Structure 1
Amino acid sequence: MRKKILLGVGAALVAVTGLSIGAAEKTPPAIAQQTSAHQGSRLLAQAPGTPLTIAFPGRADSTDLQTKANGVAQFLSKELGMPVNAVVADETATVEALRANRADVAFLSSRPALKAQELANARLYLAEVRPNYSGKHTYRSIFVVPKNSPLQGKSSAKQTLEQLRGKKMAFTSPTSGSGFIFPVGELVKSGLVPNRDRLNGFFGQVAYGNNYSGALQAVLRGQADVAAVSEYAMYPPYITAEEASKLRILHAISGVPAHGIAIDDDVPAATRQRIINAMLKLNQPANNQLLKSLYNSNELVKVEHNSHLQPMRDALKRAGF
C-alpha cells in the first residue's frame, strides 16, 4: 500500500491564515519532483512498493538537517517495513501537500496544525517534549526585559503589562504563536489593547525581529525595551549564556501548545496506529538520539487534538485573527 507521509516541524508559517492553492508554488524542488507524478488518482499514490516521503522543515536550532532526517527515515523504514525517503521542506508546503492529498502525515506547530485540520481534516496525535519546556508538551510565551530594567512584575498580569504603555516593543514576527499571538492575546485579555491592529495606540514603537534571536537582540542592543519570545529562546542557539544573563522574564503566559504530529483522516486507523507506534519508539534509549538530533526534542507524547490546540484557538480569537 502506498502512503506518502510528510512531516514538518516548527518553522514560522507565513500568513497561514490566508493559505491558498497558490502556496503550492513554494514547494521545495525535492518535494515538487517527487509529488508531480502523483497529482491524479489517490489510488495511484497508494501503489505497492512506493516509498514513503517524509519532509522535515528547517528550524533555527537544527543544523545538518538532511543527514539527521535520513537517519530517522532509515529507522522508520525498518519499523514500518517499507522504504522511507526524507526531504527538507517548509510548513507552508507541508500544509498545502496535506490539502492536495500529496501527504498524509505532518509534524506541525500549533497554528498550521489548525489550518491543516481546516483544509485536510488532519488531527494531531503526538506532541513533542523538550527539557526546557515548563509544561512538558506545552511551553510559555514570555515578555523579556533587560536585567536592570525598572519594569517589575506586579500582583496581576494587567498591572505588570500596563507598565509597557509607551515602551518600545519587539515581537518575534506577526505570525509567531509565542512571539506575537499569545502576547497580544494577553494584552487584549488584560483590556490594554482591543486587538492586534491597535498596538501602536499602546506601545511607543512596535518592531519585529523576524525570529527569536532578532527580537532578543533588539533588547540587548537597547533598540527595544521588551521582547516577546518562547521560553526556550533564552538558551543557545538563540542567544548565548552570557547574553541570557543580561535579560530576565517580566511576565510569562503558560500553555502554548508544543509542535506535534498530525495525521490526515484518509489514513486507515490501522496504518495510523502503526505510524504512531513507530514514532513512539523514538522515545526508547536506543533510538532517542535520532529524535534529539532533529529539533532538541527528547520525547513524543500522545495528545488529544482539540484540547491540545484550544489555547491557540483562544489566543487567535483574542488577538483578532
Structure 2
Amino acid sequence: MSIRLSRRKTLILSAAGAVSLGTRLAAQQEGLRLAFIPQENPEKLLGDIAAITEWLADQIGVPVEGFVTIDHAAAVEALRNGDADISFMGALPFMLAEAEIGAVPLLSDVYRGAPSYTGRIFVRRDSGIETLADLRGKDIAFADPISESGFLYPLAEFVEAGLVAGPGEADAFFGRIFFAGGYQQAMQAMAEGLVDAAGASQYADLLLTPQQQAEIIWIAESEPIPSHVVIARPGLDADLRSRFVDAMMRLNEASNRDLLRYLYGPDGYVRADPAAYDGVRDMARRYGLLE
C-alpha cells in the first residue's frame, strides 16, 4: 500500500486515546506513562505497546500506559509537559532533551550484539544511482529531522563528500526533501518509487518485505552511532524510576527475552553511560543543533 508523503506530520492516536488533564495528573501520581516514537508501522507499534505495558505494570506494581508520539520532538515535549514520564528515543533527540529539560538517561539498547549502529543511504537497484553525487536534484526521504540515523548522520555523508555544506543547505542539493515520520515510512517511499533515496538506520531495510529487500541497495554508510536510549523526565520519583529500570533489565533474562520484540526488537538493555553519547553531542554542536 502506498503512503502519502508530506512535510506536515500526521497525528498518530495514542494507544489509550485522548486523555483529560485530570487523568494525566492521576497517571503521573499513580503510575507511569511511556512515550514511543514511530520508527515502524504505527498500528503494529500500538499492539506492541499494549503487550509490553501490561507486562511492565505487573513487574513494577503500578499502572503503565503507553502512547505513540508524532515524532521525536513531540516525545521531548511530552516529557517537558509531564504528559510522559519515560521515553524511548534515539541519541540525538536525547541530546536535545538533556539540554532543554535535563532529561536523565536510564538504559541503552544492544542490537545484534553491538552497542552502536549506523545510518545508510538506500536506493533501488534499478535506479542507476551508484554514488551520493548521483542524487543531485533527486528526491530523498528521511525519517525525522531530529533523528540521528534517520537524518543527521546520513546527511553528514553528503557533507563529508563535499556535496552539502550542512543541514541548512541540503535543499540546494536535493530536488525535494521529505520527512516521512519513521524508518519504515521513509524506506517504503523509496521502495515504491515515490522518492529516489532514503536515509535511515542500517537495519531499516528489515522493515520491508523480503521482495522489496532484494530490490534495494545502500550506497553510503555513516560512522557508528550510539544505540537508542530510554530516558526519564527530571523529577520522576526515584523509587519508581529504579523499579522501571530493574524491570527492563529483567528483559535480558532468557525467560523474558521474547518480550523484547515489543520494544523495537533489541537484543537487550544495559544501564546507560552518558559519556557514550559524546560523539552525538559533538555532531549536534557542529551542525548548530546544540549550543
**TM (normalized to structure 2)?**
0.76
Q: Distance in 2 between matches of 1:247 and 1:29?
A: 33
> What's 1:9 paired with?
none
Structure 1 residues 298 and 202: alpha-carbon distance in aligned structure 2, compared to 1, 3 A threshold: same
In the TM superposition, residue 124 of structure 1 has moved relative to its aligned partner by 1.5
In terms of Rg, which structure is larger? Answer: 1
Residues 285-318 of structure 1, C-alpha deviations (whole Å, 9 max, x = no match): 211222213422231122212423x343333344
In the TM superposition, residue 191 of structure 1 has moved relative to its aligned partner by 3.2
> What's 1:314 paired with?
282
In the TM superposition, residue 252 of structure 1 has moved relative to its aligned partner by 0.5
Q: Aligned to 1:192, what secondary structure does the other structure show?
A: coil
Q: Distance in 2 between matches of 1:221 and 1:78?
A: 42
In the TM superposition, residue 126 of structure 1 has moved relative to its aligned partner by 0.8
> What's 2:3 paired with?
none
Q: Aligned to 2:208, what secondary structure does the other structure show?
A: coil
Q: Do structure 1's residue 98 and structure 2's residue 79 form an aligned pair?
A: yes
Q: Do structure 1's residue 286 and structure 2's residue 255 form an aligned pair?
A: yes
**RMSD of aligned alpha carbons:** 3.7
Q: Percent identity?
A: 26
Q: Do structure 1's residue 72 and structure 2's residue 52 form an aligned pair?
A: yes
Q: Do structure 1's residue 185 and structure 2's residue 147 form an aligned pair?
A: no
Residues 199-250 of structure 1, C-alpha deviations (whole Å, 9 max, x = no match): 24434x2332614455445555666554322211212xx3222222222221
Note the 1:13-52 alignment, pairs <5 A: 28=14, 30=16, 33=19, 35-36=21-22, 46=29, 50-52=30-32
Q: 1:118 aligns with which of 99, 113, 116?
A: 99
Structure 1 residues 295 and 26: alpha-carbon distance in aligned structure 2, compared to 1, 3 A threshold: closer
Residues 241-293 of structure 1, C-alpha deviations (whole Å, 9 max, x = no match): 22222222211113233322112342455543332111110121211222213
Q: Distance in 2 between matches of 1:143 and 1:130?
A: 20
Structure 1 residues 293 and 191: alpha-carbon distance in aligned structure 2, compared to 1, 3 A threshold: same
**Between Structure 1 and Structure 2, how many residues are aligned?**
278
In the TM superposition, residue 106 of structure 1 has moved relative to its aligned partner by 2.2
> What's 1:22 paired with?
none
8 Å CA contact retained: 1:142, 1:252: yes
Residues 35-55 of structure 1, C-alpha deviations (whole Å, 9 max, x = no match): 435669xxx954xxx333344
Q: Aligned to 2:134, what secondary structure does the other structure show?
A: coil
Q: Aligned to 1:168, what secondary structure does the other structure show?
A: coil
Q: 1:240 aligns with which of 194, 203, 209?
A: 209
**TM (normalized to structure 1)?**
0.70
Structure 1 residues 286 and 35: alpha-carbon distance in aligned structure 2, compared to 1, 3 A threshold: farther
Q: Aligned to 1:87, what secondary structure does the other structure show?
A: strand
Q: 1:276 aligns with which of 219, 222, 245?
A: 245
Structure 1 residues 26 and 184: alpha-carbon distance in aligned structure 2, compared to 1, 3 A threshold: same
Q: 1:108 aligns with which of 77, 81, 89?
A: 89
Q: Do structure 1's residue 60 and structure 2's residue 40 form an aligned pair?
A: yes
Q: 2:178 aligns with which of 208, 222, 225?
A: 208
Residue ranges of structure 1 left out of the alignment (5+ in a row)? 1-13, 16-24, 153-159
> What's 1:84 paired with?
63
Residues 13-34 of structure 1, C-alpha deviations (whole Å, 9 max, x = no match): x99xxxxxxxxx9995947536
8 Å CA contact retained: 1:128, 1:300: yes
Q: 2:114 aligns with which of 130, 133, 136?
A: 136
Structure 1 residues 45 and 269: alpha-carbon distance in aligned structure 2, compared to 1, 3 A threshold: closer
Q: Distance in 2 between matches of 1:110 and 1:88?
A: 20
Structure 2: which amino acid aligns with 1:287? N
